[in-house]
Structure 1
Amino acid sequence: MIAHRLGGSCACGAVAVEVGLGRELAAYSPRACDCDFCCKRGAAWLSDSAGFLRLRTNAGQDLKRERQGSEQAEFLSCAACGTLLAVRWRDDDGHAYGAVNARVLARHDEFASEQGASPKLLEAAEKTARWKVLWFADVEVATG
């Protein structure tokens, strides 16, 4: 059951973000990844396997898609302003899992303190197993 719906966007407003979360906001501790890619872009990842993640671009806008590290997941940024919004991974069946950069969400200051994360220490199979458990299992990316 979804207890909270939060919206957000990139810095320029070209991409809207919406998440559905099942618990009180203070029950979530965004994960601040320690890799160079995430640190340089100010990412702290939030997810809820029972919730949802939606990204919608304005008409004529696009997302920048990048891979780094193990190149398993794609990082989604606004092509116009460069704000890092989300990360998404598809399993072999094409099912999309993802996490949102908590810092782009309204009310992000109501989450619990960020906790450090070091996914670069995990093997590829360990990462995907973790993503299936932690990440949003309902992810949609659409053009408005």
Structure 2
Amino acid sequence: MTVHTGGCHCGNIRLGFSTELDPPQIEVRACQCSFCVRHGSRAVADPNGRLIISVKDETQLRRYQFGLRTADYLICRECGVYAAAIARDDDARAIVIINALDDRERFSQEPVRVDFDTENRAQRQARRRTHWTPVEISFG
């Protein structure tokens, strides 16, 4: 597996996205919810990959929720970077925001515009369990 590293601007949040897929093969999604549109979010996931998130100072990590409150959107309080979203259920799954990766230019597919506003809670959780990346988060 190849590890794509990155994180927030100040270094409080570090990312390690492991995948066997070549970046140009990975579908880039541009969610059309109001949060993602305002952040210019471009997200990727690999259900067979792994995302490791390391946070130096947990007090500087903002976990934002909205809508159905089925995910935590991870934002650095210090520098404001939106780095990832983690599903809020028993199966820890996430997406990584490629704008926060060091090699973001390698994820070259034109973003696919997606809109999940018609999903109910169960549909959203099922989609994330199937399509999002297994994730581990550590502090300190």
- TM-score in terms of structure 1 length: 0.89
Equivalent AA in structure 1 for residue 56 of structure 2: N
Quote how far apart the aligned CAs of 1:121 are: 2.4
Percent identity over the alignment is: 26
Aligned to 1:41: 39
What count of residue pairs does the alignment treat as equivalent?
Answer: 139
Deviations 1:1-24 (CA, angstroms, capped at 9, x unpaired) = x2x110001122221111001211
Contact 1:69 1:120 in 2 (8 A): no
Structure 1 alignment gaps of length 5 or more = none
Deviations 1:14-45 (CA, angstroms, capped at 9, x unpaired) = 21111001211110121111111111122111
Aligned to 1:118: 115
Equivalent AA in structure 2 for residue 77 of structure 1: I
Contact 2:72 2:88 in 1 (8 A): no
Q: Does 1:17 align with 2:15?
A: yes
Aligned to 2:95: 99
Quote how far apart the aligned CAs of 1:66 are: 1.0
Aligned to 1:109: 105
Q: Distance in 1 between matches of 2:130 and 2:74?
A: 21
Quote how far apart the aligned CAs of 1:59 are: 4.5
Question: Could you say what the CA RMSD is over the residues aligned between the two structures, in angstroms?
Answer: 1.5
Q: Does 1:129 align with 2:123?
A: no
Quote how far apart the aligned CAs of 1:70 are: 1.1
Q: Distance in 1 between matches of 2:138 and 2:60?
A: 10
- TM-score in terms of structure 2 length: 0.91
Aligned to 1:68: 66
Q: Distance in 1 between matches of 2:128 and 2:59?
A: 28
Please say which of residues 57-66 and 4-13 is displaced more in the overlay.
Answer: 57-66
Structure 2 alignment gaps of length 5 or more = none
Deviations 1:53-105 (CA, angstroms, capped at 9, x unpaired) = 111122575310011111111111112111111111133xx221111111111
Q: Does 1:84 align with 2:79?
A: no
SS of residue paired to 2:63 = strand
